[in-house]
Amino acid sequence: MSDFISVVVSLPSVVQRGIFLGILTAVATSLLGVTLVLKRFSMIGDGLSHVAFGAMSIALVLGLAPLTFAIPVVVLCAFLLMHISRKSKMGGDSAIALLSSTALAVGIASASLVGGVNTNVNDYMFGSIVAISKSDLYLCVPVLTAVIVLFVLLYNRIFAVTFDEGFAKVSGVKTEVYNMIIAILTALTVVIGMRIMGTLLISGLIIFPALSSMRIFRSYKAVIISSVTVSVLCFIGGTLLSILFETPVGASIVLANAFVFAIFTIIGKTTK
Amino acid sequence: MENNANKTILSAENLCVRYTSAKDAVRNASFKVENGDFLLIVGRNGSGKSTLLKGILGLVRPYDGKISFPDGRMAKKIGYLPQQSTIAQDFPATVTEVVLSGFVGKKGIFSFYSARDRKKAADIISYLGLEKISHKHFSNLSGGEKQRVLLARALVSATDCDVCTHKCCACHDETFCHTSGLIVLDEPSNGLDPIANRKLHSTLHSLRTEKGMTVIMVSHQVDSALEYATKVLHMDTEMLFFGSKEDYLKTELSGLLIGRREGNE
């Protein structure tokens, strides 16, 4: 850890910003990931990140601030996805697939209008640790902090709604509101996280820590704690790998998560 | 203890429920549940039993008629045991975590469980004989054990000593206040072996006779459930029968239902 800190201190401030925001994102995604995986919404992160890509590409064409434009669009789509998966005869996975491919098509078509896949678009697709500007940081840190604080404060309610929505409803909990809160928090985290992880890899940061932790741990609290720890350590490990081997940061972090998942699966099977 | 026997705690008048189509799922159901009753709701598949239960629980809104709780507090003190198929069987949670989640409707939005909550959960776990598995993981339990854990959660939700503190009774029983408990169970016997099923019914009987709780249960396991029921409601979209178990057993309806089960076996 001390080696990591000394490496970070020696890095340019733009990279430090990326690492700081990345760690916050890793905490937020891992908290939400447990709920999303357990509610069988693992792919919502993937779908929303494609929507964010489409929105950011449109923002580039229109000359708008990408994050400021993308956040409300993605939140709106998160509402839409939740609504379709609950009320429509079309399943949640089909809705995500439809929205995902449409948004990606919109993004690619918009990108072609501004001269094809340039550096900005490439960053959105595959992520970049140096893509975070100071103004991004001022917007993202309060949002991510709010996501984490809200999750901790609503911990017991989120557990109850995730474990058994019918029971929670009978007990007087407005489950639709909590589902919407989860959707909004996920949308916000995805938009911010995809700047570092990339559209194609942000869902890895959401689902891997939760799935890895569930290989070993069987209590909700242990899964949450393990998930946050795994997520942050994999982010740090992946970033170090990325710096050492000059590989894309998003891919390196997902590879670190995949490695931990394999190890946890083996441990889980041998200790059963 | 205050005598609450024969006190109506739930009343349905001409209840009609339908989903999106114009076809009624429940039509003109009228009945009353009194404190300490064990109401068994029976009927063939698709007869509206579970819809009626959802109406009682407030999960579906009747388009005509009404459900009322003459004792206003009751609406907030229903312990619900859903069908197990609605719960992910591999969910990572300990028995204690599941039981404590029964407090969810009683706590403020941002609140955490107090020492008193944990004691009450432990008392209920102990009453149901679940101490030895209280630290086990829900996913590792047998079907019967899972059902008892979900019953413990329902009890946490259905009992509250607030009634005592409101001086409506003087039972001084923080875990089971005899005036407050209503347990609603939706086909709890599904997937249970006969021993686990009998144990569950026997526990419900004890809760009713020893703790004064009221039970409403939908079940296909009519034979064993009838042993403990005090009232029966037979549904076939409309209410075909509502009354005491003794009267029900004299009807052709009961013979048909029980006879069909025996015929299958």
Residues A106, A53 contacting (CB under 8 angstroms)? no
Which tokens sit at A25? 């994102």
Alpha-carbon span B55 to B31, nearest angstrom: 13
Say what percent of chain B tops pLDDT 90.
Answer: 23
* d(C-alpha B152, C-alpha B173), whole Å: 17
Q: Which residue has the higher pLDDT, B223 or B149?
A: B149
- Contact between chains at B97 and A159 (C-beta distance less than 8 A): yes
Tokens of B110: 């941002």
Q: pLDDT-derived band of residue A161, with 50, 70 and 90 as boundaries?
A: very high
- Smallest CA-to-CA distance from A253 within A68, A23, A62, A94 is with A23
Does pLDDT of B94 surpass 50?
yes
Tokens 């016997």: give the residue. B189
Q: What pLDDT does B4 receive?
A: 58
- CATH numbers and ranges of domains, chain B: 8-246 (3.40.50.300)
Which pLDDT band, with edges at 50, 70 and 90, does A16 fall under? confident
Task: Report chain B residues whose CB lies below 8 A from the CB of A173.
Answer: 104-105
Most confident of A80-84, A114-118, B20-24, B69-73: A80-84
Average pLDDT along chain A: 87
**B102 contacts A169? CB cut-off 8 A:** no
User: Would you state the torsion angle of the CA atoms of residues A73, A79, A80, A84, taken in this order, to the nearest 10 degrees?
Assistant: 160
Which site among A170, A214, A221 would you substitute to test the B interface, given the most B Cβ atoms closer than 10 Å to its Cβ? Answer: A170
Which residue did the predictor score with more confidence, A188 or B1? A188
Q: Are strands B64-68 and B78-81 parallel, antiparallel or unpaired?
A: unpaired
B236: left (phi over 0), alpha (psi -120 to 50) or beta: beta
A160 touches chain B (CB under 8 A): yes
What would the mean pLDDT of B141-150 be, rounded to a whole number?
A: 90
Interchain contact, A159 vs B93, CB within 8 Å: yes
Predicted local confidence at residue B263, as pLDDT: 42
Q: In what side-by-side order are the strands of the sheet with B64-68?
A: B64-68, B8-18, B24-34, B238-244, B231-236, B38-42, B214-218, B182-186, B78-81
pLDDT of residue B97: 93
Whole-number pLDDT of residue A163 = 93
Domain boundaries, chain A: 2-270
Classify domain A2-270 at the CATH class level.
Answer: mainly alpha
Check CB contact under 8 Å for A156 and B101: yes
- The pLDDT of residue B86 is above 80: no
CB distance A22 to A196 below 8 Å: yes
Residues on chain A touching B92 (C-beta within 8 angstroms): 38, 214, 217-220, 222-223
Among chain B residues, the shortest Cα distance to A152 is held by: B110
pLDDT digits (tens, 9 = 90+) for B20-59: 767 888 988 999 998 889 999 998 888 889 899 988 888 8
A28-36 average pLDDT score: 93
Nearest CB among B76, B94, B113 relative to A172 is that of B76
**Is A23's pLDDT higher than 80?**
yes
Please check whether residue A169 touches B, CB under 8 A.
Answer: yes
Q: B104 and A157 in contact by Cβ < 8 A? A: yes
Residue B39: predicted pLDDT: 94
Nearest CA among A39, A31, A33, A30 for reference residue A175: A39
| Predicted interface score ipTM higher than 0.90 | no
